[in-house]
Amino acid sequence: VIADLQRLVGSEHVVADPRPDLLADASAYAGVSGVAAALVSPGSPEEVAAVVSWCAERGVPVVPRGGGTGFSGGCVSQDPASVVVSVARLDAVRSLDVLQWRAHVEAGVTTARLARLARENGLRFPVDPGAAEQSHIGGNIATNAGGPHCFKHGVTRAWVLGVEAVLGNGELVTVGGPTRKDVAGYDLAGLLCGSEGTLGIITAAWMRLLPAPPVELPLAAVLPDARAGQEALDAVLGCGVVPAVIEFLDAGSVRASAASFPGGGLPADAGFVLIVEVDTSEADAEEVAGALREAGATVSRPDARALWRWRDGVSIAVASVHGGKLSEDIAVPVERLADAVEGTREIGERHGLEACSWGHAGDGNLHSTFLLDPADAAQRARADEAARDLFALALELGGTVSGEHGLGLLKNGWLSRQWSPGAVAAADAVRAALDPAGVMNPRVKRP
Amino acid sequence: VIADLQRLVGSEHVVADPRPDLLADASAYAGVSGVAAALVSPGSPEEVAAVVSWCAERGVPVVPRGGGTGFSGGCVSQDPASVVVSVARLDAVRSLDVLQWRAHVEAGVTTARLARLARENGLRFPVDPGAAEQSHIGGNIATNAGGPHCFKHGVTRAWVLGVEAVLGNGELVTVGGPTRKDVAGYDLAGLLCGSEGTLGIITAAWMRLLPAPPVELPLAAVLPDARAGQEALDAVLGCGVVPAVIEFLDAGSVRASAASFPGGGLPADAGFVLIVEVDTSEADAEEVAGALREAGATVSRPDARALWRWRDGVSIAVASVHGGKLSEDIAVPVERLADAVEGTREIGERHGLEACSWGHAGDGNLHSTFLLDPADAAQRARADEAARDLFALALELGGTVSGEHGLGLLKNGWLSRQWSPGAVAAADAVRAALDPAGVMNPRVKRP
């Protein structure tokens, strides 16, 4: 195996029996650990195709790997026979067409690098998942990544014009390209978005960009509890302005993170906080602030840069409370946000765990979280049970078990509870169509 | 056949040996005429499923039919054994959730009805293909329809949260729903967008809506020729404002339609016209107007309602010049717009036909048109040859043979020139996966 792979990508780009830390993603916190025959880092899309072809011919599982920042174990190989394919060396910016609002980048370009390139040229790449310095564009596409600014601007799918990928049979294909509209063929580029490496390995993409918005005006609104928060959210949605961002923190999340809030504007005993950013005009920001105040909120205007630095740290602040956490990413219809927030806390109580949630209020997308001491195996087991109750709650509320992270390894089996057997069979048929040998990330995204 | 179908949907909803006018779409102008065993109009998604199951079991071709406004013959049955399934009776608005910016509508709801519902409630459905009073939401999804305002707001796909559909095996499935984010399963809702009835029949959809923009400020910019038009387009794209609309008309289109332009603002001898609509603020409109003037344009500010009424009539005005036309919908990278405009005219000249183009400049999407006398068979034949040259030009410029209309019947065979064999094989495999019996619109969207 190793000799063959070395021949395909060069011996210095093959690691035999890779250590688990080379295979891990953020699900390491949930105890997910990887094992594989080899970790290979091809230097070109053609080398990716050669590796996948080699594997497909021999029935060897292929686990594609981006920046390793996923929360579901989607890139963590579980089979000692697997070949893990990292796209880290595919990191060229093939073109940046400023006037055409687009970039052609390889899969290993980091989210932050594309975002910086855009900013430096008066443009914006509005998809802003966590861990932007580590996560890759290829991984963003493979998980259809979101983030706070996706409320107004849409998740990754909305920014992909075309994709170059190696499919499960080892074919290197390009679907879409620099053109902004195309209905000649099926939307295979869209199908690859969120496919979690089970249909192919993305090697490059044409990404759409946007002129930088004229302003970034964040508001922080403090409310007594989640019910009041839902009413304030309704007030924002009804005020006629389309904010760029509508985030929330429940009481537990505020408690964990309020101390570092910029300008000291957040009382640690706040029951619920909405963070709304307006990117159109000062008048629009005042309109939203007025709607929030009418809904009973105390509104402050934090500094944008400081706010987003703080927001990036919320997850870590929550984890620090007891040293660990199990964090999920359910999404519900936006009018059920308060139900999901309260439900998260109740599920925690039922399992003897402190629970909290924060996330993308405008999209009804919660990072529902159970706090735990990672050394306590019993807590760990109770958190796993709590997560199962949480997924059931999401479905009961008409939502989904994953708004952002995907099924990965950790949510295998849950799609069958969300979709009808006919829809699951259709997904299975599509998977078999693009991965006839069944080698593409075979343990992942199992319905 | 007829007796069975009558049993499934009620005898009054089955037309045996339907007349061609019941089967036609806008491709009638290109001589496309339909034939079928029956036209059935099911009254529920379950009846649609029953009809498709019946057909799949017997290998009878199914041709789904919406408002019949397509330009590619995608719904025009060509097989005397086919069953044409109209979704016209599935016309319920299942829910309109104003505060959540969304609607749940059946496939037979017209585009105009959804747009009006949105407007009446302070919202907007920004997808605005032609023939909005006739075209159905189901058809919009099946063709991934666009329109002028899709420059800023994206084509139909961007507005579909979830789809209910009957797949090729007769299974009624729902993928997606009222939730705004969902990465649990593959994006099968997105895959159905633009699938032209070859993967299933859409019976209902959850559609996203948007708060009405604060203003609608159109600008008309007159330029000497297409090259100057391209420079003016660049100036708009570079000015920092994101317009809602960037349309264009070349010299021939202006000549045909200038007489009815609102306010008399359009000189009939204009070489090129850009129509830009700003929906953010008067200051932004002035910014764009300034950029256009600096690029050498003469800028006027027509009335928005009158402008869009006029714009709706451009296609008819062009057709009226010689009584008929063959109109296509290629799209190219936006920086190649002038090349495509000039190329269209040159191809016309080469085939002895007057040619012009207009369309969605910001998306690089041209309605390239060859004028003809419909009674002149020789002109007709030359127009077909010209269209083939046009598709070749689109591919040469790095574009697509269809930005809006789809392959339908008329562009069968062209995807194989646009995509590599590997990508075409992937599309074929996906088709076979969701339509194992090969009965779904089998003559349409053949790569």
**Do the chains contact at A179 and B212, CB–CB below 8 Å?**
no
Phi, psi of A29 (to 5 degrees): -60, -25
From chain A, the residues in CB contact with B140 under 8 A are none
| pLDDT of B238 strictly over 90 | yes
**Do the chains contact at B190 and A193, CB–CB below 8 Å?**
yes
Q: Residue B104 in contact with residue B204, Cβ under 8 Å?
A: yes
Of A99, A179, A398, Cβ closest to residue B364: A179
pLDDT for the residue B362? 98
Residue window 284-343, chain A: list those with CB within 8 Å of chain B: 331-335
**Do the chains contact at B97 and A418, CB–CB below 8 Å?**
no
Q: Give the integer Cα–Cα distance in Å for B84 and B13.
A: 12
Give the distance, in angstroms, between the CA of residue A194 and the centroid of all CA atoms in the same chain. Answer: 9
- Bridge partners of residue A276, in order along the sequence: A219, A246
DSSP codes, B248-281: EEEHHHHHHHGGG-GGG---TT-SEEEEEEE-S-
Residues B95, B99, B104, CA angle at the centre, nearest 5°? Answer: 20
Of B195, B414, B432, Cβ closest to residue A433: B432
- In this prediction the ipTM stands at 0.97
**Do the chains contact at A173 and B143, CB–CB below 8 Å?**
no
**Do the chains contact at B195 and A186, CB–CB below 8 Å?**
yes
Of A101, A183, A331, Cβ closest to residue B194: A183
pLDDT for the residue A29? 79
| pLDDT of A31 strictly over 90 | no
Of A364, A422, A427, Cβ closest to residue B186: A427
Residue window 394-433, chain A: list those with CB within 8 Å of chain B: 398-407, 411, 414-415, 418-420, 422-427, 429-433
**Do the chains contact at A364 and B191, CB–CB below 8 Å?**
no
| pLDDT of A24 strictly over 90 | yes
Give percent of chain B above pLDDT 90.
Answer: 96
Q: Give the integer Cα–Cα distance in Å for B49 and B55.
A: 10
Q: Give the integer Cα–Cα distance in Å for A161 and B400.
A: 12
Tell whether B147 is within 8 A of chain A (Cβ).
no
In B181-274, alpha helices (H): 188-192, 226-237, 251-257
Which helix (H) or strand (E) covers residue B62, if one does?
A: strand B62-65
Q: Give the integer Cα–Cα distance in Å for B245 and B150.
A: 7
Q: Residues A361-408: pLDDT tens digits?
A: 999 999 999 999 989 999 999 999 999 999 999 999 999 999 999 999
pLDDT for the residue B30? 81
**Do the chains contact at A185 and B419, CB–CB below 8 Å?**
yes
- Write down the residue that tokens 């040859």 correspond to: B385
Q: How do B102-106 and B200-208 pair as beta strands?
A: antiparallel
Tell whether A25 is within 8 A of chain B (Cβ).
no
Of A167, A423, A425, Cβ closest to residue B426: A167
Q: What residues have CB less than 8 Å from A404, skipping those under 6 apart?
A: A129, A143, A145, A146, A155, A329, A331, A365, B181, B183
Q: Give the integer Cα–Cα distance in Å for B180 and B199.
A: 24
Count of CB atoms within 10 A of residue B10's CB? 15
Q: In whole numbers, what is the pLDDT of chain A averaged over residues?
A: 97
DSSP at A212: P
CA dihedral angle for residue A341, residue A342, residue A347, residue A351, rounded to 10 degrees? 110
Q: Residues A47-100: pLDDT tens digits?
A: 999 999 999 999 999 999 999 999 999 999 999 999 999 999 999 999 999 999
Q: Residue A350 in contact with residue A291, Cβ under 8 Å?
A: no
Of A172, A186, A426, Cβ closest to residue B173: A426
Instruction: Assign B242 a pLDDT band (cuts: 50, 70, 90).
Output: very high
**Do the chains contact at A237 and B99, CB–CB below 8 Å?**
yes
**Do the chains contact at A425 and B171, CB–CB below 8 Å?**
yes
Of B188, B281, B333, Cβ closest to residue A178: B333
Minimal Cα–Cα distance from B90 to chain A, Å? 21
Q: Give the integer Cα–Cα distance in Å for A129 and A70.
A: 10
Among B52, B72, B119, B186, most A C-beta atoms within 10 A, so best to mutate, is: B186
Q: What residues have CB less than 8 Å from B70, skipping those under 6 apart?
A: B25, B26, B27, B139, B143, B405, B406, B408
Q: How do A83-86 and A38-40 pair as beta strands?
A: parallel
Minimal Cα–Cα distance from B33 to chain A, Å? 22
pLDDT for the residue A374? 87
Q: Residues B73-92: pLDDT tens digits?
A: 999 999 999 999 999 999 99
Q: Give the integer Cα–Cα distance in Å for B42 and B49.
A: 9
User: Closest chain A residue to B49 measured between Cα atoms?
Assistant: A422
Give the distance, in angstroms, between the CA of residue A309 and the centroid of all CA atoms in the same chain. Answer: 18
Q: Give the integer Cα–Cα distance in Å for A35 and A179.
A: 41
DSSP at A405: S
**Do the chains contact at A184 and B407, CB–CB below 8 Å?**
yes
Model-wide pTM > 0.90: yes
Q: Give the integer Cα–Cα distance in Å for B71 and B78.
A: 15
